[in-house]
Amino acid sequence: MAATMEKVVSLCRRRGFLFQSSEIYGGINACYDYGPMGVELKRNIRDLWWESMVRARENIVGIDAAILMHPKVWEASGHVEGFTDPLVDCRVCKMRFREDEIDPEKRKDGRCPHCGNKNALTDARQFNLMFKTHMGPVEESASIIYLRPETAQGIYVNYKNVLDSSRLKIPFGIAQIGKAFRNEITPGNFIFRTREFEQMEMQFFVKPGTDAEAFEYWKEQRMKWYFQLGINREKLRLHEHGSEELAHYARAAFDIEYEFPMGWKELEGVHNRTDFDLSRHQEFSGKDLTYFDDSTRERFVPYIIETSAGVDRTVLTCLIDGYEEEKLEKETRTVLHLNPKIAPVKAAVFPLVNRDGMPEIARKIADDLMRRFNVFFDASGAVGRRYRRQDEIGTPFCITIDSQTLEDDTVTIRNRDTMIQDRAGIRNLLQIIGDRIRTESE
């Protein structure tokens, strides 16, 4: 049986993937804490992204910008203007208005100032998407500062620093993983939409005119990344933004969507942002952000292709996609079919019984494997139950020390998905587990 959101939420809580934030105080809406298993899964996902987007590419580098930025950044980006107005929508013509700009008389009967339909306006929604706070001890308007609602701006404002301090030439990219905060009006669906979340973003700087080609390339590359993560291909699709969805500055935009239990939803955005961002920062900062192309002697403001993914949404996708309640002959087992590369625990080590020197051998094996992998040692309960506990958290391999080990220094290795066991020598375990993680991840 496939996953429902309730089942995944329950597993996450039971097995230490995710807890509600400040739970002992009754929790705080739409904020979650990663537990011991969740934090490993999340780290592994981040690492995999970094590996494929930064380390494996000569023309992409990383940065780690501060969350707090100069308030002018958010003016230049359009967030101050676009995210803080009391907005009303017209249900008929879909136009949007600032509530304080509509004639209060008309507002009374909900008349749309554009199409004139009565009772057409929705209630006002305060789009305080940016969290505001103050810097320094005095709370005055000059000290207002925002928690960043996206990591992208940290990249744009550092574009020149990176360019001047490296030998990169266009086309090149800058990547960043970090927290972002949005005072979402409708958070929900577990960690799908929260007010504090993490993004993995890459901004690729290209010469205008080559943007369409780069856009196609990144669309494909990013889909491939999810395939490599082992996500069911049939549950992934690309959705193109129509003209009504497209941001005013964007030339083209696609969402990579996954079929969550609540329907097809965005997992990542791939956007052609044109020269909007750098032009705006150039205008607001007064700094020259043009690029000089040595080979053609041309100067231009680069276009930007953005790939913007959510770490938490990827975690949720992996959990939902991997969850299975599998009917066996006598029982049902819950198993998380996580790609071994992102599984929180790579191998569990069990002594079959707690005597005859088996626990000591198991301990030694666990200590040895721990040098390279996250390993779990478990000597309590029937071995079948120990396997089930590992299946539930997605541990790909269970190593058991039994009476044959005492005779020939071999152990059993059980595969999570097939439940097949084979024997291998203790001496080569580090190598064998490493190889199997690699081959089973492909």
Complex with ligand ATP: residue 130 or 361, whichever CB lies closer? 130
343, amino acid identity? A
For residue 266, the minimal CB distance to ligand ATP (Å) is 5
Q: DSSP state, 122?
A: P
Q: Which residues of 247-275 are buried (b: 16+ CB within 10 A; e: fewer)?
A: eebbbbbbbbbbbbeeeebbbbbbbbbbb
- Point out the residue whose Cβ comes nearest to ligand ATP: 310
Complex with ligand ATP: residue 314 or 400, whichever CB lies closer? 314
Complex with ligand ATP: residue 99 or 196, whichever CB lies closer? 196
Where helices occur in 253-370 by DSSP H, the ranges are 276-285, 311-322, 358-369
Where helices occur in 229-302 by DSSP H, the ranges are 276-285
Complex with ligand ATP: residue 269 or 322, whichever CB lies closer? 269
For residue 250, the minimal CB distance to ligand ATP (Å) is 11
Tokens of 98: 């600032």
For residue 148, the minimal CB distance to ligand ATP (Å) is 12
* The dihedral formed by the CA atoms of 212, 217, 221 and 227, expressed in degrees to the nearest 10: 90
For residue 74, the minimal CB distance to ligand ATP (Å) is 14
Complex with ligand ATP: residue 272 or 308, whichever CB lies closer? 308
* Three-state SS at 295: coil
Contacts of 440 (CB under 8 A, 6+ apart): 340, 396
Alpha carbon 407 to its chain's center? 47
Complex with ligand ATP: residue 118 or 179, whichever CB lies closer? 179
For residue 284, the minimal CB distance to ligand ATP (Å) is 21
For residue 324, the minimal CB distance to ligand ATP (Å) is 24
Find out whether 391 and 334 touch, Cβ atoms under 8 Å. Answer: yes
Contacts of 387 (CB under 8 A, 6+ apart): 398, 414, 419
Complex with ligand ATP: residue 153 or 400, whichever CB lies closer? 153
Contacts of 225 (CB under 8 A, 6+ apart): 49, 52
Residue found under tokens 């120990």: 386
* Three-state SS at 181: strand
Binding positions for ligand ATP, rule: CB under 6 A: 150, 182, 184, 193-194, 197, 199, 266-269, 308-310, 312-313
For residue 107, the minimal CB distance to ligand ATP (Å) is 27
